[in-house]
Structure 1
Amino acid sequence: MFKLTPAAAEQVLKAAKQGNAEGMSLRLAAEQKPDGAIEYRMGFEDSIQEDDIRFQSEGVDLVLSPEDVPLLDQATMDYAEVEPGKMHFIFLNPKDPHYKPPSDG
């Protein structure tokens, strides 16, 4: 199933507090582009649909629509320094053909 790293969870919870979205779930969505790349979307939401899949990762309430599960299953969202001094949410997803596993070291 989809999961958050501790760094991503900490940042999501900070964003929820700053945006007056505490208590709302983080909805994640994914769309596969023609070249196979996966585009990700996320936002806080308090309107949960009957068929949505709800779960927790690192203390964050997450929600996915059933059609997003195949693309997001086995993915991890991290919050990392992509460029010096610039932190971003990144998605580590082995189902994305552009995914490169992080190197150890």
Structure 2
Amino acid sequence: MSIRLTKEAAAQILSSAKHSSTENQPLRIAAQRNQLTGSISYAMGFDDQQDIDTASQQHGVEIIVAPMSADLLSGVILDFIAVDGETEKQFVFLNPNDPDFVPPSAK
């Protein structure tokens, strides 16, 4: 699996797990392509691992991905940053497989 978490994203995920009493569950990340536009939508949440899932661990976070999402998530970086001058931080999926993707240096 080639999803990469930044340290900032991992810290926020670990904090969320602690506050929601899901510290012992892995984080499931899923992706689905819109057939009309080609854009990719994302979902994530704490879940039980299934036998068919791929798992990895980064910065103390266990990540699981179902086979149907694996190709869409290949090469993704999950970050937790302020976007477009906002003060509130949010999770951002930097995905070179998404036709709407603009590399951070090109913004």
Looking at structure 2, the residues matched to 10 and 49 of structure 1 have their Cα atoms a distance apart, in angstroms, of: 25
Identical-pair percentage? 38
What one-letter code is carried by the residue in structure 2 that aligns with 1:5?
A: T
Q: Deviations over 1:11-31 (max 9, x none)?
A: 000000011111110000000
Looking at structure 1, the residues matched to 98 and 86 of structure 2 have their Cα atoms a distance apart, in angstroms, of: 25
Looking at structure 1, the residues matched to 86 and 94 of structure 2 have their Cα atoms a distance apart, in angstroms, of: 20
Task: Using the TM superposition, give the Cα deviation of residue 84 of structure 1 relative to its aligned residue in structure 2, in angstroms.
Answer: 2.2
Matches for 1:48-63 after TM superposition, within 5 Å: 48-63=49-64
Q: Deviations over 1:47-70 (max 9, x none)?
A: 221111111122210000011100
Does 1:70 find its partner at 2:71?
A: yes
Question: After the TM superposition, which segments of 4 or more aligned residues of structure 1 sit over 3 Å from their partners?
Answer: none
Matches for 1:84-99 after TM superposition, within 5 Å: 84-99=86-101
Q: Could you list the runs of 5+ residues in structure 2 that have no partner in the other structure? A: none
Q: TM-score, normalised by structure 1?
A: 0.93
Looking at structure 2, the residues matched to 54 and 13 of structure 1 have their Cα atoms a distance apart, in angstroms, of: 17
Map of 2:102 onto structure 1: 100
Looking at structure 2, the residues matched to 14 and 50 of structure 1 have their Cα atoms a distance apart, in angstroms, of: 27
Count of residues paired in the alignment = 103
Map of 1:41 onto structure 2: 43
Map of 2:21 onto structure 1: 20
Q: TM-score, normalised by structure 2?
A: 0.92
What one-letter code is carried by the residue in structure 2 that aligns with 1:97?
A: P
User: Counterpart of 1:14 in 2: which secondary structure?
Assistant: helix
Looking at structure 2, the residues matched to 49 and 15 of structure 1 have their Cα atoms a distance apart, in angstroms, of: 22
Q: Could you list the runs of 5+ residues in structure 1 that have no partner in the other structure? A: none
User: Counterpart of 1:71 in 2: which secondary structure?
Assistant: coil
Hey, which of these two has a bigger chunk of strand by percent? 1
